[in-house]
Structures are given as structure tokens and as C-alpha cells.
Structure 1
Amino acid sequence: MELNTIKPGAGSKKPRRRVGRGIGSGLGKTAGRGHKGQKSRAGGYHKVGFEGGQMPLQRRLPKRGFKSHNLKFNGEISLTALELLGQDEVDLLMLKAAGLVAELVRNVKVIKSGAITRKVVLKGIGATAGAKAAIEAAGGSLA
């Protein structure tokens, strides 16, 4: 095989369709656009979601819900993950280094999921009421 003999696979390349080039092409006269109307004309089309003047679906349906853009800066960690981390003092940088929270995260909260038996001191990390009770019951604290 030589570089000058390389060709694409059979059937992988199709010639582009040339419209409006006479009867013999099969796409002469109206060039596959049908007769008259907005879609047959050059430059004539409509906006995405336009329904011919009828009230569009996205305006007929009620607005609902809200998603804060700040959610990406919040993270959470379970009691089980704290237990497996195996550290006596835990802070945000340690959690990022261990890969338990994303690099973007600024605020971390411990949630009561699982159990904890070891003493852990949290620095600059929040906790839910249930998680705080579980940490303090194990001899830990929140700084």
C-alpha cells in the first residue's frame, strides 16, 4: 500500500446533491421545495418554536421551578465517607485532595448517611443536625 493509492471505503462518501439543475437531475424546477409558500422562498423561514401565529407550546405551559447557579459551589459528604477517610482532623483541602468533593466546591456539609465510630474534628465544614449529633456521640467536634 502506498500513500498515493489510499481511497475512502466504498460507499462512505456520497456526492453532494445539486438541486435546480434541470429535469434530468430529478431535482429541477422547484428543487425539492414544493410549490409556493414560505418554505419555498429564499430567506423565508421562521423562528424555532414558531407555530404559525398560534401561541407556542413553551408559552402555553406554566413556568415552574428554579435551579440556582450556586449549586456547583456546594458539596456534601456522608458519615460513612468520613469514617473511611481515616483522618482525625478534616478540612476542605483534605476532602478535595481525597477526591470526595469537586475542585469547584467552596462549602461542604456533612450529612447523616451511614454511621461513624471514630473521633473526627471538622474545621470549616458544616453538618446537619443529625450528623452533628452522631459526630459528637463518637467523641468528635465541629470547629
Structure 2
Amino acid sequence: MKLNTLRPAEGSTRNTKRKGRGTATGQGKTGGRGQDGQKSRSGGSVRLGFEGGQMPLARRLPKRGFSNYKFKKQYAIVNVGELNAFEANTVVTPELLLEYGFVRKLLSGVKVLGEGELTKPLTVKVNKVSKTAEEKIKASGGKVEVI
């Protein structure tokens, strides 16, 4: 078998529709867009929720209640198993995790979760730790400090 002789299975591929290439193609002239109107123009489509100038439903309904979304805390997550990359007895801080590329941004802080196994004793200083992560760190001879 040679790479230049390979062909896709019979019937597995179709030719792409070449719109606006003459009436014989069946997609000529209007190119499958119909006759006139906004949707027949290039770039002609209405945005999500647009109701033809009528006041959209999302703006007709009253706004009620309080959303905590703006004040929500989001943590950068690191699993216990990933901490094996550090030498034994290292003090692991959020800045060190950022420097080594375990987290992209510090956000509201760093949280350590309990997935994986830890084989080295480490001192972990982070903002939040799950119970299983804390147990695994202590079981390996390390310490946990919540900043």
C-alpha cells in the first residue's frame, strides 16, 4: 500500500456545494437564499432576540431579585497529584504554582483538590483545600496552611 494510492471509501465523501456558479448547478443566481429581503444580503441576519423593532421579550419583562454573579469567587484549581512535580519539603505557594505553570491566573486564589496521589512531604500554603486533599497531604508527611 502506498500513500499516494489511498482513496476514501466509496460514498463516504461528497462534493461541496459551489454556490453562485451558474443556473445549471441548482445553486446559481440567488445561491439558495431566495429572492429578496434582509436574509438574502451578505451579512444580512438579525441578532439573537431581535423581534423586528418590537420591544424584545427580554426587555419587556421586569427585572427582579439579586444576582451574586458579580461577587462570585472563582478559584484556580490544582490537583494533589500534580504537586509531585515539586521536590520533597518544598513550600508550595500560589506564586510558585503560577511560576511553574500549574495555574494560568491566580483569580480569587488557589484551591487544591484531592485527585491523584502525593508521594512527597510538602508544605502547601493556599487559599482553599478540599478535605480529601488535606488528608492526602498530611498522609504523605506534609502540612497544609490556609492563607
The TM-score, its normalising length taken from structure 2, stands at 0.50
Contact kept in structure 1, 2:73 and 2:108, CA below 8 Å: no
Q: Percent identity?
A: 27
Question: Which residue identity lines up with residue 118 of structure 2 in the other structure?
Answer: I
Shift of 1:108: 0.5
Q: 1:96 to 1:57 in 2, by over 3 A?
A: same
Q: 1:51 to 1:94 in 2, by over 3 A?
A: same
Residue 123 of structure 1 aligns to a residue whose secondary structure is: strand
Shift of 1:106: 4.1
The answer for the alignment partner of 2:77 in structure 1 is 76
2:97 counterpart of 1:95: yes
The answer for the alignment partner of 1:108 in structure 2 is 110
Question: Which residue identity lines up with residue 56 of structure 2 in the other structure?
Answer: P
The TM-score, its normalising length taken from structure 1, stands at 0.51
Instruction: Tell me the distance in 1 between the aligned counterparts of 2:144 and 2:84.
Output: 15
Q: 1:140 to 1:96 in 2, by over 3 A?
A: same
Shift of 1:128: 0.3
Shift of 1:124: 3.7
Instruction: Tell me the distance in 1 between the aligned counterparts of 2:128 and 2:68.
Output: 24
Shift of 1:71: 4.9
Question: Which residue identity lines up with residue 131 of structure 1 in the other structure?
Answer: A
User: What number of residue pairs does the alignment pair up?
Assistant: 95
Contact kept in structure 2, 1:89 and 1:123, CA below 8 Å: yes
Residue 77 of structure 1 aligns to a residue whose secondary structure is: strand
Unmatched segments (≥5 aa) in structure 2: 1-35, 38-48
Residue 122 of structure 1 aligns to a residue whose secondary structure is: strand
Which of 123, 126, 130 lines up with 2:125 in the alignment?
A: 123
Contact kept in structure 1, 2:98 and 2:104, CA below 8 Å: yes
> Residues 92-114 of structure 1: CA distance to partner in whole angstroms, max 9, x if unpaired?
11111101112443411100111
Write out aligned runs for 1:1-80 (5 A): 49-51=50-52, 53=54, 56=56, 58=58, 67-68=69-70, 70-71=72-73, 74-80=75-81
Unmatched segments (≥5 aa) in structure 1: 1-31, 34-47
Shift of 1:77: 0.3
Shift of 1:60: 8.6
Say what the alpha-carbon RMSD is for the aligned residues. Answer: 3.3
Larger radius of gyration: 1
Contact kept in structure 1, 2:112 and 2:126, CA below 8 Å: no
Shift of 1:141: 1.0
> Residues 27-61 of structure 1: CA distance to partner in whole angstroms, max 9, x if unpaired?
xxxxx88xxxxxxxxxxxxxx713353x6354699
